[in-house]
Chains A and B, each alone.
Chain A
Amino acid sequence: MNNNGTTINKNAQQIHEPLFQVTKRAYTTWQKAWIIRAVAIAVALVICAVVIVLVTGLNPLNVYGTMFEGNFGTERKIWNLLREIAMLLCVSLAVTPAFKMKFWNIGAEGQSLIGALASVACMIYLGDKLPNGVLIPVMLISSVLAGALWGLIPAYFKAKFNTNETLFTLMMNYIAMQLVAFCIVFWENPKNSNNVGVINSSSKSGWLPVIGDQKYLLPVLIVALLTAVMFIYLRYSKQGYEISVVGESQNTAKYVGINVKKVVLRTMAISGAICGIAGFLITSGVDHSIRSDTIGGLGFTAIMVSWLAKFNPIYMVLSSFLIVFLEIGASSIATDFKLNESIADVLTGIILFFIIGSEFFIQYKLKFHKRDKKEA
């Protein structure tokens, strides 16, 4: 409090202006919040422009144009964008109930990967035994179960022995990765390639059906449905209400008779199960293969998506769009201008910094402290 008065405000009438220590979110209307966010993005773009000119000498408008082009340039690009958003959003939906419960599930990567592994195993071993109409539901169910199991293990230890869920879920990621690496040894095709390759490429068994001539339409629709379900679940269901109470205060939950352990287990099973769905969609709907980095860090990016949207599944559509847009944009800048990947990452970093930073200004208002005349 004593150090914030470096700027002298000459207007004594400003005394009733709030201090920046005071939480102001409650009084920030949503219109104002969006104006602050818009200003933050504008400032970020200006600063990025300065960096672009200084470092590369390119015209920033061209660079921004390329970013846009990379995302929306062709129909194929638009569908790629939608697919990426859907996959990121799916994992983000999965981590949201856990984070809302203040259970730091940073194991979505592993939960998704184990789901993907389950799907791929079904594709490989049951591909020629079951018709697609049976195989695909079997794949979905086994992915869901595998993901749920991967989520339940740390939750069980948390509930039973109060282990640290952050470390536990993180370690589970590595176990999942090593399991996949182990399985690849058996599944590699061709031999000694250390690669599974496209599974059932001729029979397409276990491949998610293509509807409306669009390969990615079905996965996108599934994720859209999940988003709506998750929104309703968190906001209107009794279980969603319990998640909020446990997340806000375990003491309150115990006081009203909520079985905290049960809620933790149930919520982590749901979290893991949706990760499993993400793993299923990625393998059955997109990759038709598996590597130990199939999930590609979505499990971690999802945490950012979820927090940026304040755990609201509808806002998460926006935040996952933003992040995917920046990623695709950055890589198209890098290829189009033959730039080093790093400059694209710098630009992404600047933009994210401002967007996350704007949340501070939405919650707090700065007041410049008026100091005693003598100290001034």
Chain B
Amino acid sequence: MSEKRIALGLRNITKVFGDKYANKNVSLDVYHGEILSVLGENGSGKTSLMNVVAGIYTPDYGQIFIDGKEVSINSPKDAFSFNVGMIHQHFKLVDVFSATENIVLGIDDGGFDLKKAREKIVQIAEKYGFIIDPDKKIYDMSVSEKQTVEIIRVLYRGADILILDEPTAVLTPQETKVLFNVLRRMRDDGKSIIIITHKLHEVLSLSDRVAVLRKGEYAGTVITSQTNEKELTELMVGGKADLNIHRDEPKNAATRLTVSGINCKNREGVTVLKDVSFEAKAGEILGIAGIAGSGQRELLEAIAGLQKLEDGEVVYIDPKTHEKENLRNKTPLEIREMGVRLSFVPEDRLGMGLVGNMGIVDNMMLRSYRKGHSMFVSRKEPKNLADEIIDRLHIVTPDAETPVRRLSGGNVQKVLVGREIAAAPTVLMAAYPVRGLDIGASHTIYDLLNEQKKKGVAVIFVGEDLDVLIELCDRIMVLSGGAVSGIVNGRQTTKEEIGLLMTKSKEESANEQ
């Protein structure tokens, strides 16, 4: 390593938001021809640090060196002039433009020669092994194709230092493999690649070195070949961590919910659920996997009475009377009035599950305010419930009245899950309940789900991290393009199997039958 030249050096970078340090005295180096992972929990300052390098934030303090020279990067344009390019988590592409048009967009090199640009793009693609159609419009592209366009755009502008912010979050395992091969080829070409991630196994398989951030501070850099998951986790959380997710055998797994042949269209009239059928059983966790936007949200909303069904049935089987109740096209209120205790932790916590500007007490009231005949609300019971949840789930908040939008992501989620569990559900649906949560908070949520499973609740868990799904769930249903492409046993399946199912089209699965 010592003979390698430093491409990017950061010294004492400090960035403050309000009275919170996003980064505090972070110093690290990136060499030419290496892949550096920046690892850290959510809120540890990975993205804000990289935004400083990419010119989106100006640091409050500290210096940036590129090839040994101190520079000041005040805009993404500046960053490009120093050959630094960032690929953001949310793509910034013009939908109605082709790949080529998007790539040349904003480059002022005197002329506008799409033909020449196209040639250059093809060259870049060949050099690093990208698969791209330069004339394809963005709206016709899959997520991974869009990402390819973003990466080529940065390379086209001559970037030597590439920053990728959680590039694999939206990819299947197979697409991830392709991306990693491309990144390795770029490294061998002498480029410096910084990849922001919190997935440990990716860090280990891809990078040369790992820089760890913890609560905005630099926790150390380790050489990947000399470390392991356990050590990295301890660096990340700053102490011993138990990474194992507990999984009990389901007991008396009786069918609680039967979904058969549901079809569903979204507002634009596009079919989002195609002939989905499955059963959810009491005392078991059913995982739902799939690429983002494969119909997970719509499925849960259809069960919760928030999506109109074109056809199909959602049948709830009462645990005591074994009576069957059809929930099809019932409103959430009607479902509750039927005595079906269905709890739902939606993906959009502050936009759907909670009201961001209300305190915990008023958010508890969302489920219970109708109780009683008085025309006035009673805040006494919700207050008690709020205090109980704050106490039991260790929610960090100044008080029970503080607007929940001011709490951290983990605490917001605990408020939401806490409220939904407090309703003593018989079916609990949770969509991406650990998204954006750190390891500690994630494990609290897993424990809560397991506790519900033990109580005989039918738990439906929509997740994105396949490792977690495989460790936590008893069965995993995979959605692909709104259709069920397979239901596998969580104890026996592999990531590769799920990954294949995630991309399997409806035609393929039809051919097999």
Chain A contacts to B: CB under 8 angstroms: 1-2, 5, 12, 15-19, 22, 24, 26, 236-239, 241, 244-245, 248-249, 251-252, 254-259, 369-370, 372, 374-375
Contacts and interface: CB of A to CB of B under 8 A. Distances in A.
A25 to B, nearest CB: 10
Contacts of A24: 18
A247 to B, nearest CB: 9
Contact of A248 (B75, B357, B369): B357
A254 B332 contact: yes
B92 interface: no
Contact of B366 (A2, A239, A256, A369): A256
A375 B59 CA distance: 13
Contacts of A369: 58, 60
A245 B16 CA distance: 33
Contact of A254 (B21, B306, B375): B306
B17 A251 contact: no
A245 B75 contact: no
Contacts of B19: 16, 18
Contact of B352 (A12, A251, A258, A375): A251
Interface string B398-421: 000011001000000000000000
Interface string B79-102: 000000000000000000000000
B353 A255 contact: yes
Interface in B327-347: 331-336, 344, 346
22 contacts: A5-B58, A17-B16, A18-B19, A19-B16, A22-B17, A22-B18, A26-B406, A238-B369, A238-B377, A241-B377, A244-B355, A249-B356, A251-B351, A252-B355, A254-B306, A255-B332, A256-B366, A257-B332, A257-B333, A257-B334, A257-B335, A369-B58
A249 B349 CA distance: 11
Given A238-B370, A252-B366, A15 B14 contact: yes
Contacts of B350: 249
A252 B17 CA distance: 29
A237 B376 contact: yes
Contacts of B358: 244, 248
A219 B344 CA distance: 50
Contacts of A258: 333
A375 B332 CA distance: 59
A16 B354 CA distance: 31
B50 to A, nearest CB: 15
Interface string B492-509: 000000000000000000
A17 B346 CA distance: 36
A233 to B, nearest CB: 9
B72 interface: yes
Nearest to A245: B355
Contacts of A16: 16, 19, 21
Given A237-B377, A238-B375, A248 B61 contact: no
Given A18-B19, A245-B366, A259-B331, 13 more contacts: A1-B57, A15-B61, A19-B18, A237-B377, A241-B365, A241-B369, A241-B377, A249-B350, A249-B352, A249-B355, A254-B306, A254-B332, A255-B346
Nearest 10 Cβ contacts at the A-B interface:
A257-B333, A257-B332, A22-B18, A251-B352, A18-B18, A248-B355, A256-B366, A2-B74, A236-B376, A255-B352
A374 B64 CA distance: 13
Given A236-B377, A237-B375, A1 B346 contact: no
Contacts of B305: 257
B324 interface: no
A256 B377 contact: no
Contacts of B491: none
Contacts of B56: 1
B8 to A, nearest CB: 17
B397 to A, nearest CB: 12
B58 A251 contact: no
A260 B376 CA distance: 19
Contact of A372 (B72, B365, B374): B72
A186 to B, nearest CB: 42
Given A2-B75, A16-B16, A248-B357, A257 B377 contact: no
A48 to B, nearest CB: 35
